[in-house]
Amino acid sequence: LQQLFIVLRSLGVNDIVRISKDREVLFDDVTGKSDDLKPALEQTIKKLGRQQLQVFDSLTLILLHNTREQTFLLQLKVNRTHAVGEHPLQLVINAFPRALAVDGDESVVARKLSAVFQNQSRYDGFVSRQRKALVGFLQKIQKTFRDRMQVDAVNVTTSVRIVRPSSRVSTIAEMPLATRNSEVDPAFSGCFGTESVFFYAWLWADLCQRQAIHCSNCLVVDANGLPLETFDGEGVEAKSHRLFKLSASTPSLAANSGSSKAAAAFAVASTTAAGSTAKSSAKQTGGGESWLQSMGRLLLPEPGSPHPDPDIDFNNIEYGKINPNRLEIKPINWAYEKPSTCGSFGGCSSCGSCSGCSSW
């Protein structure tokens, strides 16, 4: 955690909103206090004690960070027990355009969105600019982890989410109550003060339908952040697609098992492809090689692909040999995988089959 603390501070990420151990919330910022990362960690360690803090199945930190153009929610999850081949550390990032944040009156957001949805060209241009800003932040993360934690090989990927509410939302008060589910994007975790930056997303699907927007290469999720359906490069016309008609009932995962499987396959493919690349391109680069696969999620529909981001130049990257000291920033894997039984950060040398929990 000390290394991660240094990395986060180097990135200027100093605002923590929640710390959870397994299903227990240890720290929850309900006042919106900024620059509280260090005191929050100190408070948590003092509350539990250092030894007790190390006894967990999963430890999750949710942090908030603002740039000039975007607000980011970062969910950092440490898994003590994990599936063979899975990494013990995962980071999921949600990005929100600050221009669409609520500042007193929700109707102002609706007026701003009307300009975005004026036509397909305006829509695509806005999303492209937001995506570029997100990629810039991911590049900064890539460089910082490489410099501070000797992470040599980085694979940056962006993914798209469209929120499909169960009914129309016109005010923050009408947004559904969030659940503290660490298996979905942090945007759906109900962190204090995030409603204002997330509000616009609850209007998005309805506006896509009303303005006849063509949506492609995106995943539609329900009000809890769970996957409903994946659209490929061909996309769909929102005006005629059932998911964008909010007067219709929200399809269930059970009723839409094909889409659920597609979402799972997407997550698995992202992980497997990166793993295969790293193995096939493995090159000895000296001590402390690490593998960082980073994943940023822009909660907007956009042209593009869930494959490695074309804006990132990977030509000069040397892929280090995969070893226990590795970190992963990756998409949530909705497919179930049996966890390994090593369960220890103390070392896995006796396990033999585990991909590594030690020395991180």
Span 116-125, pLDDT tens digits: 999 999 998 9
Q: Strand pairing of 227-231 and 218-221?
A: antiparallel
CA distance 90 to 55: 18
* Greater pLDDT, 340 or 36: 36
CA distance 17 to 327: 22
Predicted local distance difference test score (pLDDT) of residue 199: 95
Give the residue extent of every domain in the chain.
68-75+86-328
What does the CA dihedral 117, 123, 125, 130 come to, rounded to 10 degrees? 100
Predicted local distance difference test score (pLDDT) of residue 53: 64
Tallying the residues shown for the chain, one arrives at 360
Q: Given the structure tokens 């979402």, which residue do they identify?
A: 263
Rounded mean pLDDT, 240-265: 54
Q: Is 219 helix (H, G, I), strand (E, B) or coil?
A: strand
Q: Which of 121, 114, 120 is nearest to 207 (CA)?
A: 114
195 residue type, one letter: E
Predicted local distance difference test score (pLDDT) of residue 151: 63
Measured in whole angstroms, how far is the alpha carbon of residue 80 from the centre of its chain? Answer: 20
Which residues share a beta bridge with 274? none
Rounded mean pLDDT, 250-254: 46
Under the banding of pLDDT at 50, 70 and 90, the label for residue 98 is: very high
| pLDDT for 170 beyond 70 | yes
CA distance 232 to 52: 46
Predicted local distance difference test score (pLDDT) of residue 68: 92
Q: Strand pairing of 153-163 and 218-221?
A: parallel
Q: Are 181 and 193 in contact (CB under 8 A)?
A: no
pLDDT tens profile 123-135? 989 988 988 999 8
Q: How far, CA to CA in Å, does 313 sit from each of 129, 137, 196, 273, 317?
A: 19, 15, 34, 17, 8
CA distance 269 to 222: 22
Predicted local distance difference test score (pLDDT) of residue 211: 95
Count CB neighbours of 92 within 10 A: 24
Q: How far, CA to CA in Å, does 82 sit from each of 55, 72, 127, 333, 343?
A: 15, 26, 35, 12, 8
Predicted local distance difference test score (pLDDT) of residue 163: 95
Rounded mean pLDDT, 71-100: 84
CA distance 33 to 255: 43
Q: Is 214 helix (H, G, I), strand (E, B) or coil?
A: strand
CA distance 303 to 274: 22
